[in-house]
Amino acid sequence: MSLFDYSIKELEQKLHNKEITVTDLVNTSYQRIEEVDDQVKAFLTLDEKKARSAAKELDEATVEERQHPLFGIPSGIKDNIVTKALRTTCGSQFLRNFDDPLYNATVVEKLNEAKAVTIGKLNMDEFAMGSSNENSSFTPTRNPWNTEFVPGGSSGGSAAAVAAGEVLFSLGSDTGGSIRQPAAFCGVVGLKPTYGRVSRFGLVAFASSLDQIGPITRNVEDNARILEIISGHDKMDSTSADIDVPTYTEALTGDVKGLKIAVPKEYLAEGVSPDVKKSVLEALKVYESLGAQWEEVSLPHSKYAVATYYLLASSEASANLARFDGVRYGVRSENAENMLDMFKMSRSEGFGEEVKRRIMLGTYALSSGYYDAFYKKAQKVRTLIKNDFDKIFEEYDVIIGPTTPTPAFKIGEKVEDPLTMYANDILTIPVNLAGVPAISVPCGLSDKGLPIGLQIIGKYFDESAVYRTAHAFEQATDHHMKRPQLGGAN
Amino acid sequence: MADISKDQVKHVANLARLAITDEEAEKFTDQLSSIIKYAEQLNELDTDGVEPTTHVLDLKNVLRKDEPKEWITQEDALKNAPDKKGDYFRVPSILE
């Protein structure tokens, strides 16, 4: 048994009783990374020297100084979240030498204040564009449950590192499913908060109206605890909401009696594999046995979500990624003789194919003559998709369905066809377009022994209901206790 | 909406400040055409009178006083630069 099989609360107790030290926890991380990261490839950069000296310092702290909510807990940070003086690449060759960022993202500052220990930076699809981690320009992360399969994306490193027991929790970012989909594929718990719940300051922007940072953990309680810490208004992000942060862990009562669950028929329709459907229906039976009730509903515009998303997200990305010009940071082409060629060649040499494809799509959708037909049309359809959710939430507390239509697919299986890859996000994308919160929790294993995720979607800023619902399921089942069998001690 | 042409792809690449080879232009023409064709399904929906959503929260402009404060130093700002000279970022010549 690894120390990372305990919850944060249990580890807090063990630290308090001096059964273990922070150094033990940090050792557990680096030892596990040494054992398995050759296979998993979750990490891009390790911060070992700093983490070890932080551990030493924390171990010498007085009882009063230990009163921090994440005291000594080892964490991993997705590599599109800026860390001061620690390389931040966004999984891109463009930033391969961005070794000395000038500041910490607000979420990193908050984790530091809570005395968590940063172990390193986690692999991802380049600039968060992808659903399989195959778009990492360094090396694809692999699924700890079967290394021939993808871990999902774009926060594939964040999910795989937690699943493989390399860190106790990680931060990811979710623009169209990039926390929930890899959490589902790797059998861990991942939450995308309500848009505006968590500051985006220091998150390298992909699609600013959709991006949110959220926690990935092994259980719901740990997840709620981390969200409590990273949430809240930030004057550095004017889109962060000035709304009080509840104590999410208090919502974990185990009681879902009378809970009204909506199950969209589109979420169990054709395209959803039989093993995923079976696991979700079994989960609904668990809720019935706990005294909740569910009914079938419709999200009639959800089939338009993928097209809407790719137009809007690519448009925003084409504007956001204009900042990578080879002047102030990142790589610069050595082959350019004038300024314009320098921009073009630096970008072409530094960006991978999917990033270029989306910049092209976005530039096209925003260009003169096409703006109304594509960009504005997509924004109007976004309103219809949002209205579908609003209507359901007038009558129901949460929406439940699968996180993904299928379990993880094989590396290389979908890489040649962008549209097939995009379709993989069909159940997560509507949530980002509407801006509501959603979690993925493990709800079973497929015929091939790969994890399946249950998605629970809540009302705006009602992460408490999402957590309560997820936690009650977790308490009633043991899916979250299952671990992948990788080499080395587990 | 007609298919996107190879010339349009090259034009868009120039707008996006991307240098693409002829081979890449060919590939992007095919891929963008199929993505755009897929996106045209949105035309099935009547959106007359529907307000576009730019942002899901009901946010107003957030203003603050324009006051200088400590942030990053000039030295810091230059330290990740691919090329610099003295206190400046250095770039290739703009004029031929």
In this complex, is the C-beta atom of A390 within 8 Å of any C-beta atom belonging to chain B? no
A355 three-state secondary structure = helix
- Please, where are the H alpha helices in A188-296? 220-230, 274-289
User: Residue A417: its pLDDT value, please?
Assistant: 80
- Rounded CA-CA distance A427/A433 in Å is 11
User: What's the rounded mean pLDDT across residues A347-371?
Assistant: 95
**Which residue among A235, A304, A361 sits closest to B32, beta carbon to beta carbon?**
A361
**A321 within 8 A of A127, measured Cβ to Cβ:** yes
B4, B11, B17: best to mutate for the A interface, most A CBs within 10 A: B17
- Cross-chain residue pair B28–A363, CB shorter than 8 Å: no
* Rounded mean pLDDT, A142-156: 97
Residues of A in contact with B93 (CB under 8 A): 338-339
CB-closest option in B50, B89, B92 to A328: B89
Give pLDDT tens digits for A11-28. 999 999 999 999 999 999
Please name the residue of chain B whose CA is at the shortest distance from the CA of residue A97: B80
pTM attached to this predicted model: 0.97
Chain A nearest-CA distance from B66, in A, is: 14
What share of chain A has pLDDT > 70, as a percent?
99
With tokens 């270029």, the residue in question is A356
pLDDT confidence of residue A65:
87
A377 touches chain B (CB under 8 A): yes
Residue A289, pLDDT > 90, answer yes
Give per-residue pLDDT as tens, B67-88.
998 888 999 999 999 999 999 9
In angstroms, rounded to a whole number, what is the distance separating the alpha carbons of residues A294 and A192?
23
Cβ distance B47 to A327 less than 8 Å, yes or no, reads no
* Count of C-beta atoms within a 10 Å radius of residue A65: 12
The answer for residues whose C-beta is within 8 angstroms of residue B13's C-beta and 6 or more apart is A360, B19, B20, B25, B28
Does B1 score more than 60 pLDDT?
no
On chain A, the residues whose CB falls within 8 A of the CB of B36 are 361, 364, 374
Determine the distance in angstroms separating the CA of B22 from the nearest CA of chain A, rounded to an integer.
13
Q: Which of B10, B29, B57 to mutate to test the interface with A (most CBs of A within 10 A)?
A: B57
Per-residue H/E/C for B43-78: HHCCCCCCCCCCCCCCCCCCCCCCCCCCCCCHHHHH
Mean pLDDT value across chain A: 96
In this structure, how many other beta carbons lie within 10 angstroms of the beta carbon of residue A359?
A: 29
Determine contact, residues B56/A209, Cβ cutoff 8 Å. yes
SS3 A122: strand
**Length of chain A, in residues:** 490
Task: Find the residue in A nearest to B62 (Cα).
Answer: A238
Does A338 sit within 8 Å of B4, measured CB to CB? no
- Whole-number pLDDT of residue B94: 80
User: Looking at chain A from residue 305 to 344, which residues have their Cβ under 8 Å from any Cβ of chain B?
Assistant: 307-308, 310-311, 318, 322, 325-332, 336-344
Q: Kindly tell me if the per-residue pLDDT of B63 is higher than 90.
A: no
Of A176, A192, A175, A232, which Cα lies nearest the Cα of A437?
A192
**Could you write out the three-class secondary structure of A301-326?**
CHHHHHHHHHHHHHHHHHHHHHHCCC
pLDDT at B2: 52
ipTM topping 0.90: yes
Spatial distance between the Cα atoms of A253 and A285, rounded to a whole number of angstroms: 19
CB A315 within 8 A of CB A365: yes
- The contacts of residue B75 (CB under 8 Å, 6+ apart) are none
Res A490 pLDDT > 50: no
Instruction: Determine contact, residues A138/A367, Cβ cutoff 8 Å.
Output: no
